[in-house]
């Protein structure tokens, strides 16, 4: 029986799973990753950490299911989007990778918009600090010696692909998040690449996510205990890979992703950009598919931060306490912008705020406010998508945050939509990457491989709760507007 591996190069961990040809998960693991914040607004990782974590994850899969691991015929890759890995002619990494949640390149975004006035229509979104292209302008301005040595620019998962295959390759969905992709034509935009001061030769070759991008190098095959004939698929950025995993592949299919960051994702069969609302319109990981997405920089990571703040290591126990305790301060608000925010504010300087504390406020009230604040940010995302003409009534949910029934019920009520929880939804992008490996190796149809997993639960919104939340969401929005001038740098 043929087997397939999916690897997701996340921000907090590398996740990997091994499936058989029937898509049954035989083994899975995750390996934690460190993150560095050496200066305000900065967020970096060492690409070598990704590779070492990938090797460790694959060894774990091998130990857990040796026969199935040996039967691997293809590997699919997913990963955090927008990260800039810069390499020289000798394939040495020139500096730590600048990540998706790095906000240092605000001024460079303005410069790029000036150089390419129709950037949002070409690239599917206006310039924002998280994207790759303005990061390169920042390097050119602040680290010119490094910029001069750049021979290759790769995204996080594509750096791992390089370590697996020796090839410089990306695919459409991850390339979409760089600002260099002509989304409609699904090719690098010569105009935008030139506006970043780069030679087109530094850009990786592009394939579709369901295509074979190469095979394992002899060195990687020997190190990993796999056959050198193992195919490495194009793969996908984490958002698109999550869509592949949950079966969001056709017009109107929609889901929310609640991992370290958050996404509100809707599939389109045509390219429909709407940059005015900071809606991301990107190429999907399948040919002839695009998606509209609102991207939030603060998802389940806000809950992890709050749990650490109150000294609770077990988030599951903490959520159980919240669910069992009536809210004592229903007026309490939390702005979840710990790392700034993208949709709908494009504000890297925004920060987290508790508002409305009183002497009766307890730990459970704080955590409930955090859960609501993240959900309210998704309500803002939903409003942004609505201005672009996208109004789903039913949505899947994936990511670690989808494990919480309390949070999912809150999301259904806040958004006023039905939330559908699928079997294996928490596996998310790694499972989608494994499905892309199947497509690359077998040539099967998308309809045969990318089906929606079985439904574990369906959560309907309570109209009365939706009405109650609507007033609180308006207070949430007013609070951000009032505080926005205080977030600005001095």
Just list the catalytic residues. 238
* Angle at alpha carbon of residue 38, lines to 401 and 488, rounded to 5°: 75
Q: What is the DSSP string of 413-428?
A: HHHTSEEEEETTGGGT
Preceding omega of 344 cis (within 30 degrees of 0): yes
State the Cα–Cα distance between residues 396 and 458, nearest whole angstrom: 9
- What sign does the CA torsion over 257, 263, 268, 270 have? negative
The gap between the terminal CA atoms of the chain, to the nearest Å, is 62
Q: Helices (DSSP H) in 183-267: which residue ranges?
A: 190-195, 218-224, 238-246
Q: By the 8 A CB rule, do 42 and 104 touch?
A: yes
State the Cα–Cα distance between residues 370 and 361, nearest whole angstrom: 13
Instruction: Look at phi and psi of residue 179 and say left if phi exceeds 0, alpha if psi is from -120 to 50, else beta.
Output: left
Instruction: Provide CB contacts within 8 A for 201, sequence distance 6+.
Output: none
State the Cα–Cα distance between residues 278 and 161, nearest whole angstrom: 30
Burial 214-250 (b: 16+ CB within 10 A, else e): bbbbeebbeebebeeebbbbbbbbbbbbbbbbbbbbe
State the Cα–Cα distance between residues 46 and 9, nearest whole angstrom: 12
State the Cα–Cα distance between residues 245 and 136, nearest whole angstrom: 31
């Amino acid at each position: 029986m043929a087997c397939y591996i999916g690897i997701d190069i996340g921000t907090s961990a590398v996740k990997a799973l091994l499936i058989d040809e029937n898509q049954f998960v035989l083994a899975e693991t995750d390996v934690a990753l460190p993150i560095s914040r050496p200066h305000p607004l900065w967020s970096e990782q060492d690409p070598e950490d990704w590779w070492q974590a990938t090797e460790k994850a694959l060894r774990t899969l091998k130990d857990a299911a040796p026969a199935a691991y040996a039967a691997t015929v293809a590997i699919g890759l997913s990963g955090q989007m927008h990260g800039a890995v810069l390499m020289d002619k000798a394939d040495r990494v020139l500096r730590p990778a600048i990540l998706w949640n790095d906000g240092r390149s605000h001024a460079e975004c303005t410069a790029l918009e000036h150089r390419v006035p129709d950037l949002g229509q070409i690239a599917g979104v206006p310039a924002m600090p998280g994207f790759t292209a303005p990061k390169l302008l920042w390097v050119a301005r602040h680290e010119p010696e490094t910029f001069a040595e750049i021979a290759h620019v790769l995204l996080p998962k594509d750096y791992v692909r390089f370590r697996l295959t020796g090839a410089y390759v990306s695919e459409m969905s991850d390339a979409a998040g760089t600002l260099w992709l002509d989304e409609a034509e699904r090719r690098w935009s010569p105009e935008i690449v030139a506006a970043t001061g780069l030679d087109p030769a530094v850009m990786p070759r592009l394939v579709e996510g369901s295509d074979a991008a190469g095979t394992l190098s002899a060195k990687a095959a020997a190190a990993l205990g796999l056959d050198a004939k193992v195919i490495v698929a194009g793969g996908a950025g984490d958002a698109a890979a999550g869509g592949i995993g949950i079966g969001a592949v056709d017009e109107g299919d929609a889901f929310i992703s609640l991992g370290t960051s958050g996404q509100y994702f809707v599939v389109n069969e045509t390219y429909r950009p709407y940059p005015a609302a900071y809606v991301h319109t990107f190429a999907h990981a399948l040919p002839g598919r695009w998606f509209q997405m609102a991207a939030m920089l603060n998802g389940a990571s806000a809950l992890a931060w709050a749990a650490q703040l109150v000294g609770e290591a077990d988030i599951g126990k903490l959520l159980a306490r919240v669910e069992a305790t009536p809210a004592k301060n229903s007026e309490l608000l939390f702005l979840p912008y710990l790392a700034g925010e993208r949709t709908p504010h494009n504000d890297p300087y925004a920060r987290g705020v508790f508002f409305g504390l009183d002497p009766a406020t307890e730990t459970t009230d704080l955590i409930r406010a955090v859960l609501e604040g993240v959900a309210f940010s998704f309500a803002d995302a939903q409003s942004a998508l609505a201005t672009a003409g996208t109004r789903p009534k039913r949505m899947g949910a994936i990511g670690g945050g989808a494990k919480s029934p309390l949070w999912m019920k809150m999301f259904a009520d806040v958004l006023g939509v039905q939330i559908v929880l699928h079997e294996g939804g928490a596996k998310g992008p790694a499972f989608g990457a494994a499905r892309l490996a199947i497509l690359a190796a077998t040539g099967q149809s998308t309809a045969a491989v990318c089906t929606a997993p079985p439904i574990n639960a369906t959560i309907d919104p309570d109209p009365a709760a939706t009405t109650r939340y609507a007033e609180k969401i308006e207070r949430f929005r007013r609070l951000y507007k009032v505080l926005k001038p205080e977030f600005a740098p001095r």
